[in-house]
Structure 1
């Protein structure tokens, strides 16, 4: 085997690995902080004016809520501000995971404090001012519902997939080299029926009559797509039928020569497409803070109502104890997921297997493979290949170009003698 591996080198490129909704998430988080701050000030001033210690206490509790969200907002802001700072070797996409990990620790501490207070009150019951406590708990629940609505962007799902499909694509946009053009191929379906779209990332956009895409589905059915010019991009005339799982052959005829590239599109359920390495753990942590507070508010309201109605003073601390267990469970899940990312655990074993299969499809061998998360929806990969053929790193990189989530790829090739 040769001792001189070939390493693929490219011109300098950016290392911005932020989530696609980063700016929107940042604005939403700051908006919730403003809401919580207004409520905090109103409760503290109202409590001071009307002599309500419970109202002041809830205002101080709201300040801890705003502080936790401030951690998420600052993570978004710093990640954006330093996204192009070369001191961060692989960008700032992990700022959100670091903030999420820190928030999970705070949540765990909160659950311990609530649990401790609940046990103390079970052993030594205290008198409760029901007429003040219930309205304040209801007010807190209303604020948390409003906060959750703001963080989700004003709709049920926290993303912009406005069309009603419950699915996602493994690779929504691909970059390919075709003739003298570098193209981005995507299945576009934002508020419109799904169609192929082609954009030029380098070189000129081909003429619409010169390019076609033929899809072949697992059952053998084929469909040919032709394109029309929409000014700045080409779009297929026909819609893409469901499901969006097929092999797409992109063909370009240029100056009498034919060029072809093959792309694979896979479709699976929504959670698989937008979970794991697509998940924004910073927003997830912010939402968990809000949901944890809302869950405790609901439990407190139920406990207080039952305690006032039947004299069951023990219901209030029991409700608090249940809330503590719920928060602890959420914090453990967040710690596990963010901790794995910070330690560069392989984020998607299925993607690692796909990368290995793409390289080894013609008999070559992957001798080393590292796959890690750079940020929401962005993966980095280092692949070492042993081959007895004449292929170079650029050839293997082309094979991996169909995986849009691979945002930073290094390929090393060792030629067997």
Structure 2
């Protein structure tokens, strides 16, 4: 069977409430602190935290939707809701980073005076709150792309706070006001870099992509089952990061359905235990499709 998510309720309503309240509080504090101190990095982090608050609510909603059972309208269920949320959250994070980098470059060209002590104090408060939020989200982030995207939002905020603290100290000691926009750029680049893998993985799933699979090994193993003469028209695609669907056409001798069913059972056992497919569909044929490619390709996406 496909790898099960160890903690299905990766984000309880209580944890969701606490994390949301913490992020709203950080956002208000950083907006006020940034305005009073003149720190772009604090204001940029406030925008980031504001985005996090929406992201957390969005992720939690998607998580609740994903728990709905499959029905006539969605025969594969609603697990993709979390993939969509993770994709959109990661895209939003990248857009925020690009905006912050542009603003930081402008600030380098036109530096402004900054109250380093106030900047430092607000950043310390933000760091503590972000670490608490990260702790609350940690378990779900290990096994769920949606929560991982949200967790990345929180951890990137914690990193921002650390960078702002360092910047505040340097401004206080040396008066280096240029360090503020430089910190903003460095943090934005790092967050952008960390967001790209989530975008790639979620995009691949939404595009019906399959995980890395050795198709030749699958064909070899299937042909070892007594009665299977050929394998073609194979499809494998991901529902989410844990569940993979597999279908294939197999050539068999002309036999009774009851005899073919025994072969089906062997195929199911092989594909689920060795290749971790959560659902397997087999179409039995005698001579139809003999000699055709394992991966169907005649210029059409679906035969």
TM-score range normalised by the length of the shorter chain: 0.7 to 0.9
Q: What displacement does 1:282 show? A: 0.2
| TM-score w.r.t. length of structure 2 | 0.79
1:227 corresponds to:
none
2:125 corresponds to:
139
Query: Is residue 59–residue 85 contact of structure 2 (8 Å, CA) maintained in 1?
Result: yes
1:173-192 superposed matches below 5 A? none
Distance 1:129 1:320 in 2: 16
**Residue 177 of structure 2 is aligned to residue 313 of structure 1:** yes
Which of 260, 264, 288 matches 1:392?
Answer: 260
Which of 114, 131, 135 matches 1:128?
Answer: 114
How many residues are aligned here?
273
**CA deviation digits over 1:171-230, x for unaligned, max 9?**
xxxxxxxxxxxxxxxxxxxxxxxxxxxxxxxxxxxxxxxxxxxxxxxxxxxxxxxxxxxx
Distance 2:12 2:81 in 1: 13
SS of residue paired to 1:383: strand
1:116 corresponds to:
102
Which of 71, 80, 85 matches 1:99?
Answer: 85
Which of 63, 66, 75 matches 2:50?
Answer: 63
Highest CA radius of gyration, 1 or 2?
A: 1
Greater share of residues in strand:
1
Q: What displacement does 1:353 show? A: 5.0
**CA deviation digits over 1:371-398, x for unaligned, max 9?**
1112342211111112346462551343
For the structure 1 residues 52 and 348, does the alpha-carbon distance in structure 2 shift closer, same or farther, using more than 3 Å as the test? same
For the structure 1 residues 110 and 60, does the alpha-carbon distance in structure 2 shift closer, same or farther, using more than 3 Å as the test? closer
Distance 1:317 1:52 in 2: 16
| TM-score w.r.t. length of structure 1 | 0.59
Distance 2:89 2:253 in 1: 50
Query: Is residue 52–residue 150 contact of structure 2 (8 Å, CA) maintained in 1?
Result: no
Q: What displacement does 1:30 show? A: 4.5
2:280 corresponds to:
409
**Residue 194 of structure 2 is aligned to residue 326 of structure 1:** no
Greater share of residues in helix:
2
Distance 1:38 1:307 in 2: 25
Which of 210, 214, 229 matches 1:364?
Answer: 229
Distance 1:52 1:316 in 2: 15
